Structure 1
């Protein structure tokens, strides 16, 4: 299971600023987990003074199992702006499931988890609490599980991932659900090419009706196809905004399939909490 350090996650807002406080390492899953798990992520942070620092992310259509203090949680798809306040020094380890990859644990449509944080014991049993303490202890190097892993880096993360995967693999289904695989391919198609704009286009590509596609996304992904399409466009917009330099907002709106620039500005502002001009610090949403 390889790892990478200092990686910027797509959807992280103001990534250069966040890198002053937090570091992200990603780790590939082993062969047994790979059909269900996209990757593991380890975030460590150190915020001077009393804090907090607000880390903001435009979330993806994925469910996460997160080992953290005071206890592990399962995060459904967050359809709004995910904000986490960071204080002092700490760390978390997350398991990012593939779209549809959590359906075998959910006990019902994954849409029922949308915008929710649920104790992981509800899905994995009470033993996940002990596993969480062991995971965090491996990262801190103290065995205490205290959130003191701001300097544990990639080495600590690899040890944490090994414990998490040893726990997770025996609990995975014997084989991926074929429908989950199909839906994961649809989500990958959207996120890889944000120039796909309409739900009916996506449904036609996968040979199903719009209504069937909506039902499958609710069952397996946890968000509607319309939301996934829109979120992919907003990820692209935020990425370009964070690249620096002058942004041609009108041109960007056209590239992303918006009927007009005003529609794009409303969408961006509603998702990010600031207009494009305020987000980039230019004060200009035109030109």
Structure 2
């Protein structure tokens, strides 16, 4: 598949890591996705996509159009169609909040059809793009839609969440949440309430996901892996806790994960392949 992506221009870059297009034939159809520090928007311009929650009590979903996803605290799986044409947005953990008229907690660990969040928008976007739009034109249309959806007035508490969330991002989740609250001059409970409103999860949970993301993205399956050193660098000082969390987030032990990555190497220069992994 071909990946074309870029960071949008200000002020969208305060809330979005990148917007991107995926087109072509996937090397692997079924993918296992661990928690990552982002919310998502996907607009499917091709054949339907199937998603499963790792919680077996949640029924799978088939999407022919598009869907929003909030921050996930557990893994999920999705199946690409045989040929992919998809445009997406990686929001920062707090980034989806000013684009939707609903609490971010309602998107936590959920996928929701685009039209349930942005009413009557999906057909308009798809009609603008048609069948032959280039990746550049597709990203331009999506960025225009995002600009039109960005809340004009600052949302209460979002500046606090963005400020402290940026510290969590730059520290890869290692800064203690209590220190963040003290530095911001607010109580831990107030900070947690604002994160729940704008991110959908507490700052402690966001820190855990950033910490895990740093570790998983630093694994080079082509070389020997010192898991103890990687875990310590990422901020895990309890080996048993690290192994439990790793299996909870990926469905595999570190050894199993490494064997899987060596069987199915990530594509160089293909960012979506750095977190998701083929489902074994």
TM-score range, shorter chain: 0.7 to 0.9
Name the structure 1 match of 2:38: 62
Q: How does 1:1-287 map to 2 (within 5 A)?
A: 22-31=1-10, 33-47=12-26, 53-68=29-44, 69=48, 70-135=64-129, 137=130, 140-141=131-132, 156-177=134-155, 179-194=157-172, 196=174, 198-242=176-220, 244-281=222-259
- Whole-angstrom distance in 1 between the partners of 2:190 and 2:241: 28
Q: Using the TM superposition, name which of 268-277 and 116-125 deviates more.
A: 116-125
What is the CA distance between 1:234 and its match in structure 2?
1.2
| Equivalences, count | 242
- Runs of 5+ in structure 2 lacking a partner? 49-63, 261-280
**Alpha-carbon offset, residue 175 of structure 1:** 4.3
Cα distance per residue 1:258-282 (max 9 Å; x no partner): 3421211111111011111111129
Per the alignment, do residues 31 and 175 of structure 1 end up closer, same or farther by CA in structure 2, a change over 3 Å counting? farther
**Maintained 8 Å contact 1:37/1:97:** yes
Question: Does the 8 A contact of 1:59 with 1:79 survive in 2?
Answer: yes
Q: Distance in 1 between matches of 2:173 and 2:151?
A: 34
Structure 1: any 5+ residue segments left out of the alignment?
A: 1-21, 144-155, 283-287
1:16 aligns with: none
The structure whose RCO (Cα within 8 Å, separation 6+) is larger is 2
Change (3 A) 1:243 1:164: same
CA contact (8 A) 2:29 2:82 kept: no
Tell me, yes or no, if the aligned pair for 1:33 and 1:169 is still in contact at 8 Å: yes
Match of 1:245, SS state, is coil
1:78 CA drift (Å): 1.9
Check 1:192–1:33 CA distance in 2 against 1; reply closer, same or farther (3 A cut): closer
What RMSD in Å do the two structures reach over aligned CA positions?
2.5
Paired with 1:225 and 1:247, the residues of 2 have a C-alpha distance of 30
SS in 1 for 2:235: coil
Q: CA 1:62 to 1:256, structure 2 compared with 1: closer, same or farther past 3 Å?
A: closer
